[in-house]
A and B are shown apart, each in its own frame.
Chain A
Amino acid sequence: MTTQRTSGRRKQALAAAAAVAALLTTAACGGGSDDGDGGSKNGAAGFDAANNKVAQASLAKKGGTLKFGAAQDADSWDTTRGYYGMMWNFARYYSRQLVTNKAEPGKAGAELTPDLATGLAKVTDDGKTYTYTLRDGVTWEDGKPITSKDVKYGIERVWAQDVLSGGPTYLKDVLDPNGTYKGPYKDTSADKLGLKAIETPDDKTIVFKLPKANSDFEEMLGLISASPVRQDKDTKAKYQLHPFSSGPYKFESYNPGKDLTLVRNTSWKQESDPVRKAYPDKITIQFFSDANQLDQRLISGDLDLDLNQTGMSPQGRTTALKQHKANLDNPVSGYIRYAVFPQSVKPFDNIECRKAVIYGADHVSLQTARGGPVAGGDIGTNMLPPSVPGSEGQKYDPYELNGANKNGNVAKAKEALKACGQPNGFKTTIAVRNNKPVEVATAQSLQASLKKIGITAEIDQYDGSQTSGIIGSPENVKKKGYGIIIMGWGPDFPSVQGYGLPLWSSKYIQQSGNNNYALINDKTIDGLFDSYVNTLDDAGKAKIATEINHKVMEGAYYLPFVFEKFINWRSDNLANVYTTDGYSGQYDFVNLGLKNPQK
């Protein structure tokens, strides 16, 4: 690999540059902006003006170019393969689903609303049959109508994991748990629609027959991976370079890692789509390698917003908070950042030792390491993200992490250690990804507070790009003695299943790519998940979610750090902006508009 002469000094250089750059950006952006006045016609809407509420909806005009910037390209723009939240959000520009998230701010944005379908599913009493009818006038970018068969084919592609890897596989797991269907590319039937669980009696009707009920099934159909794909336009692995559009915009050009341009899909009709407003004429993404560079361009007004929606970089954030606060929103991301204790590593097989760590940790200092209350988030007190139905937020705080034990409780921790049979403490290893500086900082904070209760923790920074092979392998975790693993997790869709199933279900313990790091094997939790999928009413589902959360917390498998928050940038020119729980606190891309299309 090549580097320039400076690369050896890079670390130092970055630190120096960060300091000076902060100064410079301050100097460089002093004049010219007119923010401060919340909601001015051409200025910024005000701090947190778009967080869980709509900012400046009436100012959105038709036309113009909406400019995204991003430090990270999508994992894939193929509707079947994408897994990044921002990809699901952005994919609504060029894809439609039977049902999708409501175009509303906050919690309501996580609720489903009909899209291609005329209404939400007609579900049979046993919860095993879902029937939809397609809307009139829904078309592909070449003007041909979207049929139920296109929807079925699109969903079938999830089965072709060997070619189209990367996306969520919920639909496959629910519709074909035994994996009898081999996917459309190995399908021997003439129309390649051999999946038995989906029926298309006519072009307008689609029927899903589940072998076992799952109360989140409709949520899964709201995922981008349930988008229709037309068979004659399926270029298999290469589909991600130019997905065929069913939404208001279509691909004009895409150069991976460089830029992406969407233009209006002239075949799309506004009256056929109750969700998408489609204000701008054109949507562009410019990709950056350097997050600071991106922030600089956002602040200078060249770009409208960050596609990644993962918060600004530290120095961009500092400048923006000081001088352009009205351009910022501070939403909850849906992610929980935490430490998890693999039970295979002694003495974490003993619940008391796990509790000792939970009590002994300094939660304020962990929060500070994550970036403090604004950029980091509120102190996490349990394991259910605030956006998931059934969450009680900070109200449920079984270990008083945001209360009496905020700064760590040495006495209680020592008590727990005694109960664990390790009154003098013990030695263990904290595993942390080496490519996440913030996580390394939390590991160091944790290490410091554990020292006070006699637990000597060594920090092992492993190759962050090899997560699935290193901490995802229970065998390796045991071998390396990773008693504490620093991680984070966000919901695929806002439900306890969409968040916690891979983390807490014993069925999800895998030999590689494992996410149940704690190796939780609790019949009660497994049972609760089973009854969850069979419970069809929302109140009942929320109740079970709460119960699962309580069980997990009582097991003391996790030490939550924060309910994560981000600082996201919104340009002066953006209108009809709001964050939605449907996409973990991101702005709802598909309905963004511009105040001044000429700009």
Chain B
Amino acid sequence: MLAYLIRRLFAAAVMLVVIIMVVFGIFFLVPKWAGVDIALSFVGKQADPAAIEGVRQKLGLGDPIYAQVWEFFKGIFAGRTYTGGGDTIHCSAPCFGYSFRSEQAVWPVLTDRFPVTLGLALGAAVLWLVLGVAAGVLSALKRGSLWDRGAMVVALAGVSLPIYFTGMLSLAIFAYGLNWIDAQYVPLEDSFGGWFGGMILPWITLAFLYAAMYARITRATMMEILGEDYIRTARAKGLKEQTVIGKHAMRSTMTPILTMLGMDLGALIGGAILTESTFNLPGLGRAVLDAIRNQDLPIIVGVTLITSLAVLFANLVVDILYAVIDPRVRLS
């Protein structure tokens, strides 16, 4: 187990370095090769040469590539200072870059936006896990029944309907039509009730999509597991059917579900772009969407990095969970 952990952690560390290099490459080197001048997109309508030169200096675009990569790396661990045109900006560690559009360091933006996205992802995850797994198990046990067919039609709808659509629909009905909820994001620290009220629709909308997916996977997995020999063994022991399903079958069914959950949460933490933009939640997804629109490269890089890290971390957690659940994994 320990050896397994160490191997995984080491692999994650290597991945981390690779990710930083790749992200850096995508955003700084590829445009360079493509002949696009990044500096140009940071200046206004009538590009003043001094303005372009200023941006170039601050971004260090004139430096050799290895120096740029090194500065970028160093910034994450030791902080970084940008100088240009008689202005000096310090970006303290962990410096994930500095946005010259909005004149703020990227890291505080990320930490400011992160709780919103985390709240959205976790809240929705609880909902979809409970609903999706319950519906999936019931469907598997009552396969072919009206309930099963109904649930699977709803699930198909959930999987195929885009968030954009379900989000607008729920807003139009519950927020603007019936006026039940004020679809307005309120930070958790301001008011729990307000936060909860503002999050309930996004949770449901997001959970609907995922619950549908989880219900389908749970149903399929459960049906497969129920055909396993060891389930027959459990019954042959004289176990009650509830125990057979609830203990023996569920434990195996949860393995792929937990893997999926880990990956989905990891990806969502990078920002549920559509949900956040539909419900106007100031999370990472909206930050990156706005950043793309505003050509705010450092924010895009920062969010991309954080997202990659989140996925990496989620992967690690899933790997460890896997080993906890499935003893066979510990050996390999």
Asked if B274 CB lies within 8 Å of chain A CBs, one says yes
Tell me how many residues of B have a C-beta within 8 Å of chain A. Answer: 71
Q: Which residues of A224-248 have CB atoms within 8 Å of chain B's CB atoms?
A: 236-238, 240-241
Cα(A578)–Cα(B250), bound, Å: 66
Residues of chain B within 8 A of A330, CB atoms compared: none
Among residues of A, the one whose C-beta sits closest to the C-beta of B84 is A162
Among residues of A, the one whose C-beta sits closest to the C-beta of B289 is A289
Partner of B273, one of A7, A256, A466: A7
Partner of A165, one of B55, B176, B280, B288: B55
Partner of B86, one of A27, A29, A186, A293: A186
Q: Which of A13, A163, A165, A290 has the most CB of B within 10 A?
A: A165
Asked if B191 CB lies within 8 Å of chain A CBs, one says no
- Asked whether, in the complex, the Cβ of A258 is within 8 Å of the Cβ of B282, the reply is yes
Interface hit among B127-135, B217-225, B238-246, B264-272: B264-272
Cα(A238)–Cα(B171), bound, Å: 37
A1-B288 contact given A20-B165, A237-B100, A256-B104, CB 8 Å threshold:
yes
Q: Which of B89, B163, B168 has the most CB of A within 10 A?
A: B168
Partner of B46, one of A10, A14, A515: A515
- Asked whether, in the complex, the Cβ of A288 is within 8 Å of the Cβ of B51, the reply is no
Cα(A292)–Cα(B167), bound, Å: 12
Q: Which residues of B30-77 have CB atoms within 8 Å of chain A's CB atoms?
A: 36-37, 40-48, 50-55, 57
Q: Which of A2, A28, A256, A296 has the most CB of B within 10 A?
A: A2
Residues of chain A within 8 A of B104, CB atoms compared: 238, 241, 256
Residues of chain A within 8 A of B293, CB atoms compared: 72
Asked if A145 CB lies within 8 Å of chain B CBs, one says no
Partner of B278, one of A10, A241, A290: A290
Asked if B277 CB lies within 8 Å of chain A CBs, one says yes
Asked if B227 CB lies within 8 Å of chain A CBs, one says no
Q: Which of A17, A162, A163, A287 has the most CB of B within 10 A?
A: A162
A503 to chain B, nearest CB (A): 11
Among residues of A, the one whose C-beta sits closest to the C-beta of B300 is A1
What is the 8 Å Cβ interface bit string for chain B, positions 280-300, against chain A (1 contact, 0 not)?
A: 101001111110011100001
Among residues of B, the one whose C-beta sits closest to the C-beta of A31 is B177
A4-B36 contact given A10-B164, A288-B280, CB 8 Å threshold:
no
- Asked whether, in the complex, the Cβ of B164 is within 8 Å of the Cβ of A513, the reply is no
Among residues of B, the one whose C-beta sits closest to the C-beta of A466 is B36
- Asked whether, in the complex, the Cβ of B272 is within 8 Å of the Cβ of A256, the reply is no
- Asked whether, in the complex, the Cβ of B84 is within 8 Å of the Cβ of A163, the reply is yes
Interface hit among A166-174, A264-272, A399-407: A166-174
- Asked whether, in the complex, the Cβ of A165 is within 8 Å of the Cβ of B42, the reply is yes
Partner of B287, one of A3, A16, A27, A257: A257
Partner of B177, one of A28, A162, A185: A28
- Asked whether, in the complex, the Cβ of A20 is within 8 Å of the Cβ of B168, the reply is yes
Q: State the A residues within 8 Å of B (CB).
A: 1-7, 9-10, 12-14, 16-17, 20-21, 24-25, 27-29, 72-73, 75-76, 81, 83, 160-163, 165-169, 172, 183, 185-186, 236-238, 240-241, 255-258, 286-290, 292-293, 296, 300, 302, 465-466, 468-469, 472, 502, 510, 512-513, 515
Q: State the B residues within 8 Å of A (CB).
A: 36-37, 40-48, 50-55, 57, 84-87, 89, 100-104, 109, 112, 162-165, 168-169, 171-173, 176-177, 184, 209, 213, 267-268, 270-280, 282, 285-290, 293-295, 300, 303-304, 307
